[in-house]
């Protein structure tokens, strides 16, 4: 489309020397953050920050902590 423009793609996912860092960050970053940080994705409105699948996986059946009357004296 623009023959005078040379496109250069530099992505850490393609670099063997970054593989260790990428593997570690794949574990600790959410999919959205990882894709922005390493996958050359854009960040902007409309992109959900917390991944719904991760939120669903985080839910457990632990019952609610029962508290007494918090409003005594109010």
Partner 1 sequence: MQVFERGEDLILPNADPAVEIVKWYRRFLVGLDIAQAQDRNAYSICIDERVPFYDANGRQDLTKRRREIVRSDHLPAMSYADLATVTRNLMTDPAIAGRSYLVVDSSGVGRAFCDILNSKSVQHTRVQMVSGENESETKERGQTFNNVGRTRLLSALNSAIHTGDLSIGNFEACDLLRQELESFEADVGSTGRVRIEGGTKFGHADLAVSASLALWLSDHRSIGAHIGEAPLRGFW
- Our finding on whether 55 is near partner 1 (CB under 8 A) is yes
Q: How far is the CB of 22 from partner 1 (least distance, A)?
A: 16
Tokens matching residue 17:
């020397």
| 8 close to 25: Cβ distance less than 8 angstroms | no
11, 21, 40, 54: which one binds partner 1 (CB under 8 A): 54
Reported as half-sphere exposure (CB side, CA atoms, 13 A), residue 7 has a value of: 5
10, 29, 35, 39: which one binds partner 1 (CB under 8 A): 29
Q: How far is the CB of 20 from partner 1 (least distance, A)?
A: 15
Burial class, 9, CB count within 10 angstroms (exposed 0-12 / middle 13-18 / buried 19+): exposed
- Our finding on whether 23 is near partner 1 (CB under 8 A) is no
């Amino acid at each position: 489309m623009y023959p005078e423009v040379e496109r250069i793609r530099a992505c850490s996912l393609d670099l063997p020397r970054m593989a260790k860092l990428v593997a570690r960050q794949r574990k600790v970053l959410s999919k959205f953050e990882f894709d922005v940080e390493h996958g050359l994705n854009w960040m902007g409105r409309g992109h959900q920050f917390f991944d719904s699948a991760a939120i669903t996986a985080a839910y457990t059946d632990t019952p609610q902590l029962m508290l007494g009357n918090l409003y005594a004296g109010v």
